[in-house]
Structure 1
Amino acid sequence: MTSTLDHHASWTSRDVAPLDDATVARVDAWWRAANYLSVGQIYMLDNPLLAEPLHRDHVKPRLLGHWGTTPGLNFLYAHLNRVIAERSQSTLYITGPGHGGPGLVANAYLEGTYSEVYTDVTQDTEGMRKLFRQFSFPGGIPSHVAPETPGSIHEGGELGYALSHAYGAAFDNPDLLVAAVIGDGEAETGPLATSWHSNKFVDPLSDGVVLPILHLNGYKIANPTVLARIPEDELLELMRGYGHTPYLVSGGFEGDDTADVHQQMAQVLDQALNHIAEIKQAARAGTLTERPKWPMIILRTPKGWTCPSVIDGKQVVDSWRSHQVPLASARDTDAHLTVLEEWLQSYRPGELFDATGALVEDVAALAPTGDLRMSATPHANGGLLLRDLRLPDFRDFAVDVDSPSSTVAEATKVLGQWLAAVVEANPDNFRVFGPDETASNRLQAVFDVTDKAWAAELLPEDDNLARAGRVLEMLSEHQCQGWLEGYLLTGRHGLFSCYEAFIHIIDSMFNQHAKWLKVTHEIPWRRPIASLNYLLTSHVWRQDHNGFSHQDPGFIDHVVNKKAEIVRVYLPPDANTLLSTYDHVLRSRDYVNVVVAGKQPAPTFLGMDDAIAHCARGLGIWEWAGTEERGQSPDVVLGCAGDVPTLEVLAAADLLRRHLPELKVRVVNVVDLMRLQDEREHPHGLSDRDFDTLFTADKPIIFAYHGYPWLIHRLTYRRNGHSNLHVRGYKEEGTTTTPFDMVMLNDLDRFHLVIDVIDQVPGLGSRAAALRQEMVDARLRARQYTRTHGEDIPEVRDWVWPDVGETGTEAGGPTRDRVSATAETGGDNE
C-alpha cells in the first residue's frame, strides 16, 4: 500500500467553479455504484450483477440492515473523494449513523482497500458475491460500521459520539481533516448536542480540523427528527450560535435535478475547504486573533433517497418507512421481487462494472490513491502511527518510606508530579482528559508544564488556560471519554481522571470501546493501540463533603463484565504503588485499565522497591503486618484491596497483635484485582495452588474491599476456600460524614474487622468475648465522638503503623520493609 503521509498537500485553496460534465458524471457514477453495492449487501445472496433474471433464491432469507441513511453517506463519500484527490488532503470519515454500514463497506470495496485486507473478497463477480453474502449473515460481518470496516474508528451503533470522536482524532493532527457526518436523529442525543462545543478547544495551529456535516433526512426509526422540522433560519442560527459558519445543501426531492444537487455539494465543499485553508494560513501567519467560525455543512436530502418511492401504496422515500429494509418481502412475493430487480437496475450496473465484475476505469479514477483513500487512512488504524511514550523514571518521584506509614502523602498529587514530566516529555501525543477535575483530583502539577486547552474568550484573571494546552477539561464525562477514544484510536496516548461515582455516566461508551477492542483482537490488520486508562479518585470512602450522591464504587463491577483479555482493575494502596501501576498502564496496549486511588493525605506503606515488587506480583503477603512465623499456617487471613480498606485492615491487625498476640494473622494485599480470579478465567488469574498458598484452603479469610463486596465472591467462587471467605465492602450506606464514620456505616472499620475475626476463627469466640465487647464499645465511642466534635476520634484519626517495640511483639518479630513473594506469579502477567 502506497504511503503518502510524508507528502500530503495541507489545506490548499482552489477556485470555486461548477464541475465540468465529465466530473459530475464520474461523481454520480461512483454514487450509483456505492448505492448498488449497498442494496446488494442488504438483499442479495447470489447473481450479484443481475446476469440472469432475479429469482427468490438469489435473495437472502433474513433481510437485515439499514437503507435510509446509506445513500446520503454514499453521496458524501463520493464528493469527498473528489476534493481529497484534487487537494491531496488527508481525511478521516466518521459516520455518526453507523447503521449505514453497507455504504462504508461498499466504498471501501470500490476503493480497493477491502480487497487488500480481505483478499478473498476480490474485485470481480465472485468477490462481489462474497461481499453481498457476508453482510448481516451468519459468519459474516455486522450491519454497522464495525471494527471490520476499513477506514472506521467509530461504530455508531450507539448514537451520540460522532463529533467527540472526531475532535479526539483531530487533536494534535494538524494536517488531518475529519469529516464527521451527524445524523439528525443522533443530533437529538445529549452527548452530541454538547459536543458541538468541542470547537472551543481546538488550536487552529497544532490541531486538525473537524468538518461537521449535519445530514437532515427527516426521520428516525418511526418519528420525524427535531432539527428537520424547525425553520431553516432557526437551524442556521443554532449552528452559528455553536460557533460555526453553516453552509447549506438541499436536493434529491421530487422534481429536483440530480446534477444540480451534485453541483451544489461540490461548490459547498470547495467553499468550506477554502474557508478552512484561510483559517489555517492565518494561524500559521500569526494573524488569527479571534476564535474562528469553523465551517459546517447542513445536507438536506430525503430519507431512503433513490429507493422505490412508493411500495404497496405507501410512501417510502422521504419517510420513516425507508429507515431499515424497505422491501421486507422481496424473497416471499413476486411483486416485491420485481420491485427489487427494478430498484437494482435503476443504478445501471452495466455502466459501472465490466464483464468481470470490476469497477470501470473511469469511475475508479475518482478515488484518491494510497493512504489518501478514506478507507485506507492510517489514522483509522491508529496502531500504525503509534509511538511509544517517553516515560520518565517514576522511581525519581517516589515517596521516601522509613517504615510502613511513617510518611503521609496524597497519592494522586504524587502521581501528578510524574504526569507533569510525562506531559513535558511527550508534547504532541499525550493528553490528560477530565471533567473540570484535574486540580480537584490533585493532578495540578501538570499545570507547571502545560495549560488547559481553551479557544473561547480568555480573561486576565483566568488561570492555566491557553490555546494549546495538553489538558482537556469540559464538564461532560461524555466528551472527555469520546475525545480520549478518538485520540487513542488514531494512535496517541492519554488518561481520563474522574470522580469515581460519576464515571458511570459513560458506562455505555466504555461498553462500546471494550467491544471494539475485543473484536480488533481478532482482526489481523488492526494494529494494537494505546490502552484506555482511567484514574478514578475522589472515591467512595472519602466524599466527606459531597456525601451519599457521590458514593458509588460500582464502575468496577461494570468493567469486570467485559472480556477478560480486555479489562484490568488496579487498586494501589498508596502513592508508591500508584506510581508503579500507572507507569505500567501507560505502557500497555489494547486494554481498558481502571485504576482507583485516593487523593487525600494517607499513609505510604511501601518503599519504592517493595512497591514495584508488590505491583509486579499483583498481590502478596505483607509479612511485617502479620504475626505468623514462616513455616507456620495462619489462624486467619486478613485480605484487603483499596487504600482505605488496607488502612483499616492494618489497624485491625495492629489491634489483634496487641490484644491477641498468640493469634497467627496473615495480611494479604491485592493491587491487581483480577489476580483473585481463576487463571482459566482471566490472564492475570492465580492458579488454585497459588491462591491456596496465599489465602489457605481451610482458614477464615476476612476481606476488606473497596467496592461492593459481592464482586469478590464472584471472582473467587471457584476457589477451595470460598466458603471461608467473608467480605466487607460498600453496602450502599453513606452520607456527609467523617472518613471513619463512613467506614463504620458499612461495617468496614477496624473494630468490626476484629469482631469478624473473633466470630470466624474456631474456638476464639468465648476466649475473646471481652475483646469483642470492647470493639463494640469502641465503635459506639467513635460514633459518639463524631456526633459531638464533628471529626474522627483521635485514636483513629492519628493512627499509624507502630514500631515493633510498641506492639508488645518479642524481638525477632516481623520485619517492616519486606514483601513476601509467596505466589509464583511470573511477573506482571502482561
Structure 2
Amino acid sequence: MEVVEGTPLGAEELEHIDAHWRAANYLSVGQIYLMGNPLLREPLQPEDVKPRLLGHWGTTPGLNLLYTHLSRIIAQRDQDMIYVTGPGHGGPGLVANVWLEGTYSEVYPNISQDEVGMARLFKQFSFPGGVPSHVAPETPGSIHEGGELGYSLSHAYGAALDNPDLVVACVIGDGEAETGPLAASWHSNKFLDPVGDGAVLPILHLNGYKIANPTVLARISEDELSALLTGYGYKPYLVAGDDPQIVHQQLAATLDVIFDEIAEIQRLAREEGVTERPHWPMIVLRTPKGWTGPKEVDGLPVEGTWRAHQVPLSTARGDAIHLAALEEWMRSYRPDELFDADGVPTPQVVDWLPKGDLRMGANPHANGGRFPRDLELPDFRNYAVKVPVPGGSTAEPTRVLGGWLRDVMVANEEYRNFRIVGPDETESNRLGAVLEATDKVWRADIDPVDQHLGLRGRVMEILSEHTCQGWLEGYLLTGRHGLFSCYEAFTHIVDSMVNQHAKWLAVTRELSWRKPIPSLNYLLTSHVWRQDHNGFSHQDPGFVDHVMNKKPEVVRVYLPPDANTLLSVADHCLRSRDYINVVVSGKQPGPSWLDMEAAVLHCTRGLGIWDWASNDDGDPDVVLAAAGDIPTIEVLAATMLLRQYLPDLKVRVVNVVDLMRLQPTEEHPHGMPNAEFDAVFTTDRPVIFAYHGYPMLIHRLTYRRTGHPHWHVRGYKEEGTTTTPFDMLVMNDMDRYHLVIDVIDRVPGLARKAATVRQEMLDIRARHREYTRRTGEDLPEVANWVWQPIVSA
C-alpha cells in the first residue's frame, strides 16, 4: 500500500479542518447522550442525560473525519460528490455534519443552527418521536441506511453509473467487509466505465473491532491486505495513526493525490480514448475505534477496543462518575471555540465548507437525481402477439417482452437512464433481444469466443444477486430506471435487501422533501412450474410471500397469464415510482389468451371473469380461479373436462393478474371493494383457486371476505424433483384432473352423481404417473392440449 507524505494544510486550514472535526464529534456525542444543556452552559446534571442511551460511538469519529476532509476537496475543486456510509451505526455523525453545513436546518427548519436547534437535534436522536440511530432516509444526503451491513459498495457503484461528473465516496466498515455481499461487490470496478460513468472512492475504515470481536481485515498483515485489495483491482493508499494533527495532514495529502488520479483516469479515457481497465484508487484508513472518546471507563480500556462500539459511558444518568466523565469528554472538544454565545457554529468551523448543491447533504443525486427523467417508452401495443381466438396462438412471454425492452434501450440511449441487471440470466430468461441494442458491460479480458460483451453496455450481469440488487438500488435512488431479471427461486437471496429498500420507501413517502424515485422492478421467470429439469433446488415460489409482508403502499405483485398481459404490466411498472413491483412470468412457449385490447383491459381491472371460458349465465355452481400462467392453463383445461363430463354444471372462470386485488380496500390501495369481490366470486359457491405459489398466501389475502369458508386453494406444496412439467403439477395436486376432483368434492350434491367421473380422474393421474416413469414424457393428451372454445347449443 502506498503512503503519501506531505503537509498540504497550512496552519489556518489545519485549524479549520480540526475545528470542524471537533464540532462534528461534539454534536455526535451530544446526540447520543443529551436531552438538555446542549452547550454545557452549566455543569451537567442527571436530568440533562437521556434515560435510554442508544446509538453507536465507535465508528462515528472516523466518519466525521472523512466527511470533513471530503468537504475540503469539494470546496476546493467544485467536485460533485455524495457520501455512502456502510457503517450505518454512525448516524449521529452524518446528522451532525449535515447540520453543520446547514442542510439539516433547511430541510427541518425547527432544527435551527443555534442553541435551540441544537437542543432539539440532541433530544430527537434515538428518542420517541425522533429520528433513528442509523443513517436513515430522514438524513439529508443519504441513499444508504446501513442498518444491515454489506451493501454500501454496490450502492455506491450503482449511483456512479451514468453519472460521469459524480464521485461517490464510500466508507466500508471493517465489520461490513466480512460480509459476502461486500466481498462480491469489490468486483464492481470491472463494470465501471471511466467515459460514461462517475467514480467510486472506496474507503476501508479499519478501526479494529465489531461489537465484541476483532475484525478479520484489521488483524491480517499489511502485506496480505494490500495483496487482497490489489488483487481486486484497486490501488490502495494507507492513512493510519492516532495523532489528529498528523492524520489530518496525511489524509489531506492522500486525497489530493487520489482526486488527481481520478481526474487523470477519466481524462485519458474521455479525451485520449484509453480503453485499458484502470486500477482505481482507494483508501485504507486505520484509526482507533471510538477515537477521541474516553480512554478508560471503570478501570477498563475503551478507546481502540470493542468497548467503544456503542455507548462507552452507559450509566451517565445514574452514576456520578460516568456523568463527570461524560462532561469531561464533551468539554475536551472545546465547544466554546466551536459555537458562539447563541449556539451558532463559528466561522472557522463552517465558512470554508461547500455551498449550495455541492454540500453532500444537499447534493441532488442523493435525493432522486440531479436531472430525473421519465423513461421514453415505445408503445407496447405494437409488440402484441396476435390472438385470433383465446388460446389461438403460442408465444414465449419473456421473449416477446425482450423485443419491447430492446426498444426501451434504444429510446433511452441518449439519456442513458435505463439498465437491466441479473445474475448471468438475460439470455436464459429469453430477454436476449436487448443485446441487439446494447452489450453486456464488461471491462475485464474479452476472448474471441465471447459474445455481446462491451465497454459501455447497459446490461449488467454478475453471478451475485446481492451485487445486482445493490447496483440497481443505487441506480434507482439517484433517479434512474431499471429491471432485475432473475430465476424465481434464487431471488430469495436478496430477501434482506428487499426488506431494507421497502422500509426506505415507506419512510421516504412521509418525507415531503424526498423526491419519488423509480420503482424497483423484478421479473421472476424460470419459475417453479418450469424448473422440472433443474429439480427441487430450483423450485421455490416464496419470494412473493416475502414481499407481501411489506407495507401495502409500497409493494405490488403481478402474475400475467400470457405475453400480451406481460407487456401491459411491464409498461405500467416501468412508469411507476416508489414501488417494489414483482412480476412473475414464464419463459417457455405457452398459449396466448387475450388480444392486446382485452389484455390491457384485464390488467387495468387486475382480475376479472373470463366470459369466453365460462358457462354460468350469471349464476355459477362453482368458480374456478387462477393466478399465474401455468395455473391458468390448468384451470382452463379443468373447465374443458367439466364441460365434457358434467355439461350441466355452471362454471365461472376468473383470472387474477394483480394479486393485491384479492385484499379488501382497507388492506391495500389496489384492494377490491367487498360488493364487487362478492359479485365476482360469490359469497356461497365453492371457489377452487389454482395459485402459482404457496396456497396459504391466498387464504391470508381473502380471509376477511364473506365467502372465504368456501375457498379451496391449490398451489405449490413443496413437492418437487427432476421430472416432467405436468408431473410437477400432479405432485402438488394442482393438475387439471385434481381440480376436477376438487369441484366434484365441493359442489353440493355432485359427489354421488359424479362418482364415476371422479374415479376416472384418479385413473388418469395414475396412468400419467406410469407413463412418465416409462417414457420420460407427459401424456400426449396433456402435451398436445389446446383450448377448445365453448360451442353454443
Identical-residue share of aligned pairs (%)? 69
Q: What is the CA–CA distance in structure 1 between the aligned matches of 2:565 and 2:789, rounded to whole Å?
A: 22
Q: Does residue 1:696 correspond to 2:682, yes or no?
A: yes
Partner Cα distance (1:758, 1:386) in 2: 56
CA apart distance, 1:383: 5.7
CA offsets 1:377-433 (integer angstroms, 9 cap, x no match): 001101663211000000000000011111110000000000000011112000000
Counterpart of 2:611 (choices 606, 613, 623) is: 623
Distance in 1, Cα, partners of 2:512 & 2:790: 56
Which whole-Å deviations, capped at 9, do the CAs of 1:56-81 have from their partners, x for residues lacking one? 11111110000000000000000000
User: Residues 493-572 of structure 1: matches in 2 within 5 Å?
Assistant: 493-572=481-560
- TM-score, length-scaled by structure 2: 0.99
Query: 1:242-641 to 2 correspondence within 5 Å?
Result: 242-252=232-242, 257-382=243-368, 385-427=371-413, 428-629=416-617, 632-641=618-627
2:670 equivalent to 1:680: no
Give the match's secondary structure for 2:277: coil
Letter in 2 for 1:749: D
Q: Is the 8 A contact 1:382 1:489 kept in 2?
A: yes
Equivalent of residue 659 in structure 1, options 629, 641, 645 = 645
Cα separation, 1, equivalents of 2:448 and 2:257: 36
2:145 corresponds in structure 1 to: 155
Deviations 1:591-626 (A, max 9, x none): 000000000000000000000000000000001111
CA contact (8 A) 1:16 1:271 kept: no
Cα offsets for 1:295-321 (capped at 9, x unmatched): 000000000000011111110000000
1:525 Cα deviation after fit: 0.4
Residues 164 and 197, structure 2, Cα contact 8 Å, conserved in 1: yes
Partner deviation per Cα, 1:4-43 (whole Å, 9 max, x = no partner) = xxxxxxxxxxx98621111111000000000000000000
Of 50, 61, 66, the residue aligned with 1:60 is 50
Is 1:78 paired with 2:68?
yes
C-alpha change, 1:17 and 1:541, in structure 2 (3 Å) is same
Correspondences of 1:17-56 after superposition (within 5 Å): 18-56=8-46
C-alpha deviation, 1:90, in angstroms: 0.4
- DSSP-derived class of the 1:495 partner: strand
Which residue is equivalent to 1:668? 654
Alignment partner of 2:485: what SS?
A: strand
CA contact (8 A) 2:505 2:554 kept: yes
Give CA deviations for 1:359-386 in whole Å, capped at 9, x if unaligned: 1112212310101000000011016632
1:294 deviates by: 0.2
What's the secondary structure of 2:270's corresponding residue? helix
Q: Distance in 1 between matches of 2:262 and 2:396?
A: 45
**Corresponding residue SS for 2:99:** helix
- 1:164-214 per-residue CA deviation (whole Å, 9 max, x = no partner) reads 000000000010000000000000000001110000001110001000000
On the 8 A contact 1:165/1:486 being kept in 2, the answer is yes
Which residue is 1:750 aligned to?
736
Give secondary structure in 1 for the equivalent of 2:484.
strand
**1:825 corresponds to:** none
1:113 and 2:99 equivalent?
no
CA distance in 2, matches of 1:490, 1:429: 10
Q: How many angstroms apart in 2 are the aligned matches of 1:773 and 1:313?
A: 81
Partner-residue secondary structure (3-state), 1:472: strand
The aligned counterpart of 1:129 is: 119
Q: Distance in 1 between matches of 2:362 and 2:6?
A: 28
Contact 1:96–1:183, Cα closer than 8 Å, also in 2: yes
Are 1:239 and 2:229 counterparts? yes
Q: Distance between the aligned counterparts of 1:760 and 1:56, measured in 2? A: 70
C-alpha displacement at 1:289, in angstroms?
A: 3.5
8 A Cα contact 2:519 2:580, kept in partner: yes
Give the Cα–Cα distance (whole angstroms) in 2 for the partners of residues 599 and 213 of structure 1. 42
Count residues in correspondence.
788
Please name the residue that 1:215 is paired with. Answer: 205
Q: Is the 8 A contact 1:385 1:490 kept in 2?
A: no
Cross-structure match for 1:820: none
Cα-to-partner distance string for 1:246-277 (whole Å, 9 max, x where unaligned): 0100011xxxx321110000000011111111
1:77-106 CA-to-partner distances (Å, cap 9, x unmatched) read 000000110000000100000000000000
Please state how far the C-alpha of 1:785 moved relative to its aligned partner.
1.4
Distance 1:551 1:334 in 2: 60
Task: Give the aligned partner of residue 197 of structure 1.
Answer: 187
Q: Tell me what 1:229 maps to.
A: 219
CA distance in 1, matches of 2:25, 2:411: 48
Match for residue 10 of structure 1? none
Structure 1 residue matching 2:540: 3-state secondary structure: coil
Tell me if the contact between 2:385 and 2:596 (Cα under 8 Å) persists in the aligned partners: yes
What SS class does the counterpart of residue 669 from structure 2 fall into?
coil
Aligned-partner residue type, residue 34 of structure 2 = M
Unaligned runs of 5+ in 1: 1-14, 811-830
CA distance in 1, matches of 2:326, 2:754: 83
Amino acid at match of 1:592: I
**Paired residue type of 1:419:** L
Q: Distance in 1 between matches of 2:176 and 2:85?
A: 11
Question: Using the alignment, how far apart are the partners of 2:466 and 2:180 within structure 1?
Answer: 9
* Distance (Å, rounded) in 1 between the aligned partners of 2:763 and 2:598: 37
- State the superposition RMSD in angstroms: 1.1
Deviation at 1:237, TM superposition (A): 1.0
One-letter amino acid matched to 1:34: A
With the length of structure 1 as denominator, give the TM-score of the two structures: 0.94
**CA gap 1:279/1:384 in 2 versus in 1, 3 angstroms:** closer
Q: Is the aligned partner of 1:718 residue 2:704?
A: yes
How far, CA to CA, are the matches of 1:524 and 1:283 in structure 2?
Answer: 40
Tell me which stretches of 4 or more aligned residues in structure 1 moved more than 3 Å: none
Tell whether the 8 Å contact from 2:612 to 2:789 is kept in structure 1 after alignment. no
1:186 aligns with 2:176: yes
What SS is found at the alignment partner of 1:505?
A: helix
Residue by residue, what CA displacement relative to the aligned partner does 1:497-525 show, whole Å, maximum 9, x if unpaired? Answer: 00000000000000000000000011110
For the Cα contact (< 8 Å) 2:613–2:789, is it kept in 1?
A: no
For 1:296 and 1:704, how far apart are their aligned partners in 2? 53
Q: Amino acid of the residue matched to residue 33 of structure 1?
A: A
CA contact (8 A) 1:303 1:323 kept: yes
Unaligned 5+ segments in structure 2 are none
> Aligned to 2:129, which of 130, 139, 160?
139
Contact 2:19 2:348 in 1 (8 A): no
Partner deviation per Cα, 1:470-489 (whole Å, 9 max, x = no partner)? 00000000000000000000
**1:734 match:** 720
Q: Do the aligned residues in 2 keep the contact of 1:729 with 1:746 (CA within 8 Å)?
A: yes
Contact 1:42 1:135 in 2 (8 A): yes
- Name the SS of the counterpart of 2:671 in structure 1: coil
* CA–CA distance in structure 2, aligned partners of residues 172 and 571 of structure 1: 32
- Could you say if the C-alpha distance between residues 286 and 786 of structure 1 is closer, same or farther in structure 2, counting changes exceeding 3 Å? farther
Tell me the amino acid that sits aligned with residue 52 of structure 2: R
Tell whether the 8 Å contact from 2:114 to 2:344 is kept in structure 1 after alignment: yes
The 8 Å contact of residues 194 and 265 in structure 2, kept in 1 or not, is answered as yes
